[in-house]
Chains A and B, each alone.
Chain A
Amino acid sequence: AQSVAQPEDQVNVAEGNPLTVKCTYSVSGNPYLFWYVQYPNRGLQFLLKYITGDNLVKGSYGFEAEFNKSQTSFHLKKPSALVSDSALYFCAVRDPYGNNRLAFGKGNQVVVIP
Chain B
Amino acid sequence: DSGVTQTPKHLITATGQRVTLRCSPRSGDLSVYWYQQSLDQGLQFLIQYYNGEERAKGNILERFSAQQFPDLHSELNLSSLELGDSALYFCASSSGGDYGYTFGSGTRLTVV
Binding site for B on A (CB under 8 A): 32, 34, 36, 41-46, 49, 51, 90, 92, 94, 98-104, 106-107
Contact = CB atoms under 8 A, between A and B. Distances in A.
Nearest to A48: B100
B24 to A, nearest CB: 14
A102 B45 CA distance: 9
Nearest to A6: B42
Interface of B: 2, 4, 31, 33, 42-43, 45, 48, 50, 55-56, 90, 92, 94, 96, 98, 100-106, 108
Contact of B90 (A43, A51, A98, A99): A43
Contacts of A42: 105-106
Contact of A99 (B42, B56, B92, B100): B56
The interface residues of chain A, by DSSP majority, are classed as strand
B56 A98 contact: yes
Contacts of B90: 43-44
Given A99-B48, A99-B50, A45 B103 contact: yes
B61 to A, nearest CB: 18
Nearest to B101: A102
A36 B2 CA distance: 13
A47 B60 CA distance: 28
Contacts of B42: 104, 106-107
